[in-house]
């Protein structure tokens, strides 16, 4: 039996299809605000005070950008209707939200548990907002903004290093955070470089990658290099016939890094000092011993509350009761520096399983985009950069819902969801903004 579409039904279907595709002017405005996010994150990661604070719960500069974007999209929705997100993302994030709420019921610090739920909703709303950006041009513009911010930070750190600081940090509050952000940007630059057909663009992205890797070196952190290696190898694997050439290029890049460290005496001495810390017998001066102590406390929390944990964001509130300041490397409180251990402690097995499902879903979105056929090289490059980004943070064992980094995580996720709306059957249409 065939069905006939009335003009009203046809118009309704058309309007529903356009709800998730914003006009180029609106996408441009969202892009401008999105470019502000890494700047706001850098401000948050300095010693600048939060805008306001209730107990341990802070409202920060990235939150201002988040609220501004959300209000803007909600106003648009009044006239254009609410757009939806795909089930591949909605179902896992809904399960994790449910597990977070359940875990927060018996939390000792209920304010922090409630803040975790609100923060989760805020981050997911960022992905929802940026899913309206369906133009590769705007996606790429936001990545370029990331590069610009962290290259600037590298130049600042370079001047600090030349002035005698063995662990420069740019404008960040800590050198570890500086090293992480420059390293993930370098991983994305490698992905974009690997997917360029024009020699000029390859050289530009290669130069950006080298500058960002220098920033990572200056930050004197070991772990971000693991994330960069994992990301670069994954990008090379998904590059098809260019795989061998990219692996050779990657090997040459790593060799150049070793030569740079060996040939610059201050950098060599600082690097050797960092590696020598492993042999220190005091938790105060040995990050590995300190983390083992933190993991031991987390294990105790998990054993006492294996199903739902001690409550989201409650680990840092509770750990000072179990470890001294010296055991936490001079800090008054620390997280376990491992999202899997932290999730087991805070949200138990239920939260742990739902979090893994969410991580797998995010990676599936990126991999599925890379496997589309007949993609223009520019669009393929964006999917490769997205995969590199998420593999970097997952290999770093960094929580998707951490303040600062989480704001950028969900901007990238939203851009991926927007890019996935583009019709793969029409390669030429994917390079131009879509009207709505």
- Looking at residue 255, its pLDDT comes to 80
- Looking at residue 146, its pLDDT comes to 95
- Looking at residue 288, its pLDDT comes to 65
Q: Which of 83, 267, 253 is nearest to 160 (CA)?
A: 267
Question: What residue spans of 45-135 are helical by DSSP H?
Answer: 61-80, 87-104, 110-130
Tens-digit pLDDT string for the chain (436 aa): 344 444 433 433 344 444 567 788 999 999 999 999 999 999 898 877 778 777 777 888 999 999 999 999 999 999 999 999 999 999 999 999 999 999 999 898 888 899 999 999 999 999 999 999 999 999 999 999 999 999 999 999 999 988 988 888 999 988 888 999 999 999 999 999 888 888 899 899 989 998 999 888 888 877 888 888 899 888 888 877 777 777 777 777 778 777 877 777 777 776 666 655 555 544 444 566 677 788 888 899 999 999 999 999 998 888 877 776 666 565 656 677 889 999 999 999 999 999 999 999 999 999 998 888 777 888 989 999 999 999 999 999 889 998 889 999 999 999 999 999 875 434 333 333 333 3
- Looking at residue 249, its pLDDT comes to 75
H or E stretch covering 430: none
In the beta sheet, which residues pair with residue 227?
none
pTM of structure: 0.87
- Looking at residue 429, its pLDDT comes to 38
Q: What separation, in Å, do the N-terminal and C-terminal C-alpha atoms of the chain show?
A: 33
In degrees and rounded to multiples of 5, residue 57 shows phi and psi of -90, 125
- Identify the DSSP state of 284: G
- Looking at residue 297, its pLDDT comes to 87
- Looking at residue 276, its pLDDT comes to 59
Neighbouring C-beta atoms of residue 249, cutoff 10 Å: 18
- Looking at residue 2, its pLDDT comes to 43
In degrees and rounded to multiples of 5, residue 59 shows phi and psi of -110, 115
Burial class (CB in 10 A: 0-12, 13-18, 19+), 26: middle
Question: What is the pairing mode between strands 52-54 and 57-59?
Answer: antiparallel
- For tokens 């996010």, the residue is 37
- Looking at residue 19, its pLDDT comes to 56
H or E stretch covering 169: none
- Looking at residue 11, its pLDDT comes to 37
Report d(CA 368, CA 204) in Å as an integer. Answer: 28
Report d(CA 327, CA 324) in Å as an integer. Answer: 5
- Looking at residue 376, its pLDDT comes to 85
Report d(CA 278, CA 29) in Å as an integer. Answer: 48
């Amino acid at each position: 039996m065939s069905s006939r579409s009335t003009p009203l039904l046809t118009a309704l279907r058309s309007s529903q299809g356009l709800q998730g595709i914003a006009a180029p002017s609106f996408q441009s405005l969202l892009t401008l605000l999105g470019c502000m996010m890494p700047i706001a994150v850098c401000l948050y990661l300095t010693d600048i005070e939060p805008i306001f604070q209730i107990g341990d719960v802070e409202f920060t500069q990235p939150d201002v950008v988040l609220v501004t974007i959300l209000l803007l999209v909600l106003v648009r929705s009044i006239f254009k209707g609410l757009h939806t997100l795909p089930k591949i993302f909605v179902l896992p994030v809904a399960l994790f939200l449910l597990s977070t709420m359940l875990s927060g019921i018996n939390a000792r610090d209920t304010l922090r548990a409630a803040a975790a739920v609100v923060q989760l909703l805020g981050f997911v709303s960022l992905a929802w907002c940026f899913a309206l950006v369906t133009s590769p041009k705007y996606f790429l513009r936001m990545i370029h903004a990331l590069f610009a911010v962290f290259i600037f930070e590298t130049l600042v750190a370079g001047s600090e290093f030349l002035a005698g600081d063995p662990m420069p940090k740019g404008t960040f509050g800590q050198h570890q955070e500086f090293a992480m952000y420059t390293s993930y940007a370098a991983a994305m630059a490698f992905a974009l470089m690997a997917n360029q057909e024009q020699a000029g663009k390859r050289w530009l992205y290669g130069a950006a990658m080298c500058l960002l890797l220098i920033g990572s070196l200056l930050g004197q952190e070991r772990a971000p290099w693991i994330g960069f290696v994992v990301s670069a190898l994954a990008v090379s694997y998904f590059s098809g016939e260019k795989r061998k050439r990219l692996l050779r290029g990657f090997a040459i890049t790593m060799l150049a890094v070793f030569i740079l460290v060996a040939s610059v005496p201050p950098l060599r001495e600082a690097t050797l000092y960092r590696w020598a810390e492993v042999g220190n017998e005091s938790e105060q001066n040995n990050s590995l011993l300190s983390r083992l102590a933190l993991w031991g406390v987390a294990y105790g929390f998990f054993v006492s509350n294996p199903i739902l944990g001690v409550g989201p964001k409650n680990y840092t509130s509770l750990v000072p009761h179990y470890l001294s300041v010296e055991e936490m490397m001079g800090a008054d409180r620390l997280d376990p520096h491992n999202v899997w251990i932290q999730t087991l402690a805070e949200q138990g097995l239920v939260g742990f399983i739902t979090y893994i499902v969410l991580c797998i879903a995010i990676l599936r979105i990126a991999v599925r985009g890379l496997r589309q056929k007949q993609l223009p090289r520019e669009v393929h490059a964006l999917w490769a950069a997205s995969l590199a980004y998420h593999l970097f943070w997952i290999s770093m064992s960094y929580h998707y819902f951490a303040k600062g980094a989480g704001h950028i995580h969900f901007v990238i996720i939203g851009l991926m969801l927007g890019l996935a709306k583009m019709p793969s059957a029409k390669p030429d249409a994917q390079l131009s903004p879509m009207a709505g």
